[in-house]
Structure formats: C-alpha cells, structure tokens
Amino acid sequence: MELRRFIGDRAFYRKLFSVLVPILIQNLITNFVSLLDNIMVGQVGTEPMSGVAIVNQLLFVFNLCIFGGLAGAGIFTAQFYGKGDDEGVRHTFRAKLYIAVAAFALFSLLFLRRGETLIRLFLHEGKEALDLEATLAYGQSYLRVMLLQMLPFAVCQIYAGTLRETGETLLPMKAGIAAVFVNLILNYVFIFGKLGFPALGVVGAAAATVVARLVECAIVIGWTHLHRERCRFIIGVYRSPHVPGQLALRMLRLGTPLLLNEVLWSAGMTVLNQCYSVRGLEVISALNISTTVTNLFLCAFFAMGNAISILIGQLLGAGELDRAVDEDRKLIAFALALSVLIGSVMACVAPLIPRIYNTTPAVKALACSLLYVSAAAMPMNAYTNACYFTLRSGGKTVITFIFDSAFLWCCAVPTAFVLSRFTDLPILPLYIAVYALDLFKCVIGTFLLRRRKWVNNIVSFN
C-alpha cells in the first residue's frame, strides 16, 4: 500500500508523457546534434575544440540568464493558464520581452568588450604540448559569429516557453527538430568545406548555429501568430506595452531570485571549469567531451524538471493543492527510477565515445573517467533537479536560490578553488570531491519538500 503512493495510474502517466515526451525529444535531438557538432569540431584538432568549448561555456551563462529571467514570469504563465486567465498570460509574455532584451544588450556588450579577457582565464599550460595562443584565436573567431545568434535565441525562448506553459508542447519540439537538422547539415558543409563552400572550421560551426537559430525562431513565431485560436494569449499582445504594476512587482519579487540563481549558477559552473583548467588545457578538452555526452543523458531530467514545473504549477494555479503534493511525489519517484536506467546505459558507452575524437590518448582516457563519475551521479542529479523544480513551481524562488546557487558558491566553488590552487590533487579525485558535495543537497531538498512551504497558489490576488 505504501508503494502505491509513489506510483500513478494510467491517466497520470498519460498526462506526464504528453508533456514530457515532446520536451524530451527536442532536448535529445538538440543535444545529440550538439554532440555531433562537437565531434566535427573535434576532428579539426584539440585547440579548435578547446577554443569552442571555452566560448560555449561563456555563452552558457547568457543562455541560463535567459532561462532564469523568463522562468520567473513562466511560473505565473503556467498558473494563469491553469486559472483560465488569457490576459494574465499576455502580461507575462510582455514581461518576458523586456527581460530578454535587457539580457541580450548586457551580455552583447560584455562579450564585445571583454571577450578576449574571459577566454584567457581558461588558458593554462598542462602536461600536453598544446598551443594556447592558437586556442585563443579559435575562440575569438567563434565568439564573434556566435554573437549573432543571441537575439533570435532569446526571442525563441519567449515564444517556446509560453507555448509549453500553456499546454502546446509539440510545436517547440518540431521547431527544435528542424533547427538541429539545419545545424547538422550546415556544420558538415561549413566546417569541412562541402558543396563548393570553403572549409571554415570553427567559424563554419558558428555560422551553422546562427542559421539554425534563425530557422527555429521563424518557425515558432510564425506558427504562434498563424494559430491565434489555439494561442489566445498572442491576440493583442503587442497592442500595448502595459504590464500591471501589482503583477510586475510580484514577478520581480519572485523572478529576481530565479534570474540571479541561473546567472550565479552558470557563472559558478564556469568558475568550477576554470578551477579545473588550472590542471592544463587538456582538462578543458576532456571536460568538453564529458559534458557534451553527459548533457545528452541529462536531457531526461531537464525534461522532467520542465514537466514538474508545468504540471504542478497548473494544479497549484487551479487550487488543487493536495493533488499537487500527491502528483509531485509520483513525479519524483519516476525521475529516480529513470535515473538508474539512464546511468547504467551511460556507464556502458563511456569507454566508446571519446575514441571518436581526434585528440590525444590522455584526453580520451580522462574523458572516459569523467563520464563514469557522471553516470554514477545520475540518481543524485535527478533528485536535486526534481526538488528544484518543485520548489520553483510554488513560487519559492528565494529558497530555490539558496538551494541551488548559494550552495554552489558557498560549498562547491570554494572547495574547487582551494583544492586546485593549494594542493597537487589530480583532476579526477578533485572532480569527484566537488561532485560529491551534492549529496548534501539531496538531504536539504528532502527537508524542504517535506515542509510543504512550496504548496502555494501565487496568481490569486485576493
């Protein structure tokens, strides 16, 4: 009888899969093509791969700033939709536009003026004889072109996120699939110089990404405006720039911790990689391989997080609080069961994938070891991810900030900094020591969920 508290009925899993599967498919295809993209650049050499990896780590901060900035408004979007309030959804859509434009302007200026300085932070001599200046040149060339994809990426996230939060998950998936196939084909053409094009290397990889972002953005925007009867929020959304003051303040209060969390978390992960890079440029190459492959397997948990945020947010917005608690417990149980399966598969393929890259044996061996660590940590990642999105769905954004970014900066970053600068600990035990700190997050997450402070309807203004 106790076990049944963690297992849903057919209707529960049908609803879960209707939200989860489209998001998962899009994420899987996106990350699989990222893996192929990574392999293609890796065929050019270790220095180009390292330069691209460093820039992508910097762009990762911008991407998560967009996700975090839009997530605060997205909490309200899901609950407004659950309440049946189309005008409320329009207001949150407008707020997302303001947030995205501000983030784009800030990061564009930063990368244009300080791009070289940021890349140099990751360049350190190691055991392998790699050319640091060549890596810098590749990174700068890649960054200059990648700046062009930032605005279409931000706008696409506004539309796609709102569509998902209002129950339309298939279209963003289809747009993402189209974009990644465009990216894959153009990568092959531009990087290696096929069909009469010159071989552009890392610049070709960046150009392919820009075109793919534009294609995805065009599909999502075009479909939304052509299906106004299904996307009622888009009707009249641009007639006024108005966002009600009371709602804006509530979004600011709840959204600011989320924005800060994503910025600080992504910046913290970047600092962690910079700490690891002290052990040599070959570490950046191995981390690039490991992270790209790990992200492919983590797609399931990113999709589960989105599903939890949407499904639980809609129930909270509709006032079904007890049902939200019950379904959240079942969603977390499903995520944990899935993590065991995914971690096992990842451990099986860990020795195989690094062999595909045109890099040194030392880099391949280190990448394989890092993949084993990530595979073992899958259940821990699944649980902390589910806790984070549960707390977020109920508007407890200050708590999520403490749970996520504050923990990273107060525990993981200082540990990595001290071990990398003041000890001779090799990279693998250093990496494991930092990773293991997330066990404490599991304990904290369990405590926060049991307190049930996240069980809130935040769109009731009474």
Q: Which domain holds residue 33?
A: 3-451
Reported as a pLDDT band with limits 50, 70 and 90, residue 65 is confident
In a domain, 460, yes or no: no
Nearby residues of 49 by Cβ (< 8 Å), 6 or more positions away: 38, 41, 42, 285, 288, 357, 359
> pLDDT band for position 462 (50/70/90)?
very low
Determine the Cα–Cα distance for residues 169 and 80; give it in Å rounded to an integer.
17
| Total number of domains constituting the chain | 1
Read off the pLDDT of each residue in 274-283 and give the average, rounded to a whole number: 84
Listed in sequence order, the residues at least 6 apart from 78 whose beta carbon sits closer than 8 Å to its beta carbon are 165, 166, 309, 310, 313, 314, 317, 393
What pLDDT shows up at residue 30?
Answer: 65
Are the C-beta atoms of 53 and 45 separated by less than 8 Å? no
What is the overall mean pLDDT for the chain?
A: 86
User: Per-residue pLDDT tens for 37-63?
Assistant: 777 887 777 788 888 888 888 888 888
pLDDT of residue 366: 93
Question: Do 305 and 383 meet the contact criterion of CB atoms below 8 Å apart?
Answer: no
Name the token pair of 236.
């009249």
Residue 236: partners with Cβ closer than 8 Å, 6 or more residues away: 90
Is residue 456, in this structure, part of any structural domain at all?
A: no
Range list of β-strands (E), 219-281:
none
Integer-rounded Cα Rg, in Å, for the chain is 22
Q: Which pLDDT belongs to residue 383?
A: 93
Listed residue (50, 30, 54) closest to 42, CA to CA: 50
What's 402's DSSP letter? I
Encoding tokens for residue 449?
A: 């969920």
Give pLDDT, residue 460.
58
Identify the band that residue 449 occupies on the pLDDT scale cut at 50, 70 and 90.
confident
Euclidean distance between CA atoms 190 and 30, whole angstroms: 19
Q: What is the pLDDT of residues 1-34, one digit of tens each?
A: 477 778 878 888 888 888 888 878 877 776 776 6
Helices 202-226, 132-146: inter-axial angle, 10-degree rounding: 20
Cα dihedral: 300, 256, 160, 225 (round 10): 170
> What token pair was written down for 346?
């990842």
The CA–CA distances, whole Å, from 81 to 14, 20, 23, 77, 261 equal 20, 18, 19, 6, 25
**Dist. CA 427–CA 433, nearest whole Å:** 10
Triad 194, 31, 363: Cα angle to 5°: 80
In a domain, 461, yes or no: no
Asked if residue 351 belongs to a domain, the reply is yes
Neighbours of 451 (CB within 10 A): 11
In three-state secondary structure terms, 417 is helix
- Taking the C-alpha atoms of residue 30 and residue 34, their distance in angstroms, rounded to an integer, is 6
145's enclosing H/E stretch is helix 132-146
Per-residue confidence (pLDDT) for residue 222, from 0 to 100? 95
Count the neighbouring beta carbons within 10 Å of the beta carbon of residue 423: 10
> If we measure between CA atoms, which residue out of 64, 16, 129 comes closest to residue 270?
64
Identity of the residue numbered 384 = T
pTM reported for the whole predicted model: 0.71
What is the 3-class SS of 185-210, one letter each residue?
A: HHHHHHHHCCCCCCCCCHHHHHHHHH
Tell me the percentage of the chain whose pLDDT exceeds 90: 32
- Structural domain contains residue 343: yes
- Tell me, yes or no, whether 18 lies in a domain: yes
322-334 pLDDT, tens digit each: 888 888 899 999 9
> Containing H/E element for 68?
helix 46-83
Rounded mean pLDDT, 67-83: 82
387 close to 403: Cβ distance less than 8 angstroms? yes
More confident residue, 397 or 438: 438
pLDDT confidence bin for 106, thresholds 50/70/90: very high
Position 33 scores a pLDDT of: 63
Q: What pLDDT score was predicted for residue 379? A: 93
Going by C-beta distance under 8 Å and a sequence separation of 6 or more, which residues neighbour residue 379? Answer: 336, 339, 340, 343
The predicted-structure confidence for 372-415, as pLDDT tens digits, reads as follows 999 999 999 999 989 988 887 877 777 888 888 888 999 999 99
Residue 126 has pLDDT above 60, yes or no: no
The per-residue pLDDT for 128 is 58
Which stretch, 160-169, 259-268, 312-321, 395-404, has highest mean pLDDT? 160-169
Let me know how long the chain is: 462
**pLDDT of the residue at 1:** 45
Contact residues for 329 (Cβ-Cβ < 8 A; gap 6+): 5, 6
Q: Which of 41-55, 129-143, 167-181, 367-381 has the highest mean pLDDT?
A: 367-381
Burial of residue 352, with CB atoms counted within 10 A of its CB: 0-12 exposed, 13-18 middle, 19 or more buried: exposed
How sure is the predictor about 71, in pLDDT bands with cuts at 50, 70 and 90? confident
- Would residue 414 count as lying in a domain? yes
> Is the pLDDT score of 216 beyond 80?
yes
Q: In the predicted model, is pLDDT for residue 79 greater than 70?
A: yes
Tokens of 289: 């391989």
What is residue 19's predicted lDDT score, i.e. its pLDDT?
A: 84
**AA letter at 316:** L
